[in-house]
């Protein structure tokens, strides 16, 4: 016998990965140019040149040191470089002790949730939400509490959060810029969250952590992305280079436990413990070093901005309804029938791969990832048109 829950997770791939796998098979069958694969958030922009240069230079180093273990939390030089970057960029007193290098935001989130919860606690997520949150929350023995985003702007709904946060609430996960809707939480909205959490902490007599999931921090189209620790001190930032440097396969990111929280050292120790318990120690060492070498390198968002323009203009002209994204590289489009899965299936017949919204915790929408080539968007427009005509005549 194997573990039933783990068997279930292994047997049922996520809706995103399932569609992505279908797309790979379909491309092999009919040719890559004939499939409009908007399923997964795999960056289409190449990693910066500086990354390649850093790899080449590092390869000159002595191999056993270069490829050896680092301490569990990461190479001290890299932790120092990350802390220094956070200090300079956000004007907060970041110390290297509060930085823990991780295999992407995924590991960072799994660790952070385990670090600040006890089994039986509740973790609040904002719907629509990144589907893997559910897996990590359950693994920590906790319960997910869903709070719908405020419609139509998809900001945090402070009244709904007020109603949802109770004696069992240990943490609130927020993700801005947001996958899947592209919303960026305003400073005012985050300040309202902070005021609510301060009141709830006093009322309930417990600490409530914000886990800020930030892989898309750099991917914005002009919006300000406030640094959450400056607004709510009890924040754990889960950062990743998967999207900002287009390095999702290298599995590199970090946890930063804000120095501004009164229990910062204790939380960092629990982060180290959770990393140990989950086996997430010593993030990939070569890429720890690479990000330290490239830490101030800007992200290239020009082609995502152009894709966003093409897609929103194109779908707008065809009569689709969607949320105008301020960040990330996803468009949240209203399905043309209530059943998002059925709509996604009908889109498939036009070779359009759109992720149904159900696994993000809401019905009736699809997510269109526009981290694709410009040509994919241009060529997909007749298919989107035919799909619309199928529904609306």
List residues binding ligand PLP (CB under 6 A). 41, 104-106, 130, 175, 179, 213, 215, 240, 242, 248, 253
Q: Dihedral through CA 33, CA 39, CA 44, CA 47, nearest 10?
A: -140
For residues 213 and 326, which CB has a smaller minimum distance to ligand PLP in the complex? 213
Specify the 3-state DSSP secondary structure of 42. coil
Minimum distance of ligand PLP from residue 345's CB (angstroms)? 23
- 136/175 Cα distance (integer angstroms): 15
For residues 146 and 263, which CB has a smaller minimum distance to ligand PLP in the complex? 146
Q: What stretches of 31-157 show up as alpha helix (H) in DSSP?
A: 49-58, 63-66, 76-90, 104-116, 132-139
Minimum distance of ligand PLP from residue 86's CB (angstroms)? 17
Minimum distance of ligand PLP from residue 146's CB (angstroms)? 15
Minimum distance of ligand PLP from residue 28's CB (angstroms)? 24
Q: Which of 148, 209, 146, 157 is CA-nearest to residue 185? A: 157
Minimum distance of ligand PLP from residue 321's CB (angstroms)? 23
Give me the count of residues in the chain.
393
Minimum distance of ligand PLP from residue 299's CB (angstroms)? 14
For residues 138 and 339, which CB has a smaller minimum distance to ligand PLP in the complex? 138
For residues 54 and 219, which CB has a smaller minimum distance to ligand PLP in the complex? 219
For residues 113 and 387, which CB has a smaller minimum distance to ligand PLP in the complex? 113
Q: Which of 1, 139, 65 is CA-nearest to residue 289? A: 65
Minimum distance of ligand PLP from residue 180's CB (angstroms)? 8
Closest-by-Cβ residue to ligand PLP is 104
- 32/38 Cα distance (integer angstroms): 13
For residues 264 and 328, which CB has a smaller minimum distance to ligand PLP in the complex? 328
Query: What's the gap between Cα 195 and its chain centre?
Result: 25
DSSP secondary structure letters along 290-322: HHHHTTTPPP--HHHHHHHHHHHHHHHHHT--E
* Nearest-5° Cα angle at 374, 373 to 375: 90
Q: Dihedral through CA 256, CA 220, CA 354, CA 382, nearest 10?
A: -160
Minimum distance of ligand PLP from residue 239's CB (angstroms)? 8
Q: Which of 374, 364, 371, 387 is CA-nearest to residue 315? A: 387
Query: 347-380 in b/e burial notation, b at 16+ Cβ within 10 A?
Result: bbebbbbbbbbbbbbbeebbbbbbbbeeebbeeb
For residues 121 and 214, which CB has a smaller minimum distance to ligand PLP in the complex? 214
For residues 36 and 130, which CB has a smaller minimum distance to ligand PLP in the complex? 130
């Amino acid at each position: 016998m194997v573990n039933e829950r783990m068997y279930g997770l292994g047997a049922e791939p996520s809706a995103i990965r399932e569609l992505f796998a279908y797309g790979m098979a379909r491309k092999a069958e009919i040719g890559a140019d004939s499939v409009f694969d908007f399923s997964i958030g795999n960056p289409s922009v190449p990693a910066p040149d500086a990354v390649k240069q850093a790899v080449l230079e590092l390869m000159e180093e002595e191999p056993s040191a270069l490829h050896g273990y680092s301490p569990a939390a990461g190479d001290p030089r890299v932790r120092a470089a990350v802390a220094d970057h956070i200090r300079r960029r956000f004007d907060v007193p970041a110390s290297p002790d509060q930085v823990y290098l991780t295999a992407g935001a995924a590991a960072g989130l799994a660790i952070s949730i385990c670090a600040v919860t006890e089994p039986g606690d509740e973790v609040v997520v904002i719907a629509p939400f990144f589907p893997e949150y559910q897996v990590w929350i359950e693994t920590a023995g906790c319960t997910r509490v869903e709070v719908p985003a405020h419609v139509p702007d998809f900001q945090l709904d402070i009244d709904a959060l007020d109603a949802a946060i109770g004696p069992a609430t240990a943490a609130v996960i927020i993700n801005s810029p947001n996958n899947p809707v592209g919303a960026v939480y305003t400073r005012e909205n985050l300040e309202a969250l902070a005021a609510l959490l301060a009141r709830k902490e006093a009322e309930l007599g417990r600490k409530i952590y914000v886990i800020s999931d930030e892989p898309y921090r750099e991917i914005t189209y002009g919006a300000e992305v406030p640094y959450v620790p400056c607004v709510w001190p009890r924040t754990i930032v889960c950062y990743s280079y998967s999207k900002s440097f287009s390095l999702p396969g290298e599995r590199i990111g970090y946890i930063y436990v804000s120095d501004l929280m009164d229990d910062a050292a204790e939380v960092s120790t629990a982060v180290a413990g959770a990393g140990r318990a989950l086996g997430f120690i010593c993030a990939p060492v070569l890429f720890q070093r690479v990000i330290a070498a490239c830490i101030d390198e800007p992200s290239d968002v020009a082609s995502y901005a152009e894709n966003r323009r093409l897609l929103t203009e194109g779908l707008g002209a065809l009569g689709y309804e969607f949320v105008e994204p301020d960040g990330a590289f996803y468009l949240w489009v209203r399905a043309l029938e209530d059943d998002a899965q059925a709509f996604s299936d009908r889109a498939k017949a036009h070779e359009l791969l759109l992720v149904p919204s159900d696994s993000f915790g809401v019905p009736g929408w699809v997510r269109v990832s526009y981290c694709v080539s410009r040509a994919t968007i241009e060529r997909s427009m007749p298919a989107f048109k035919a799909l619309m005509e199928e529904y609306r005549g």
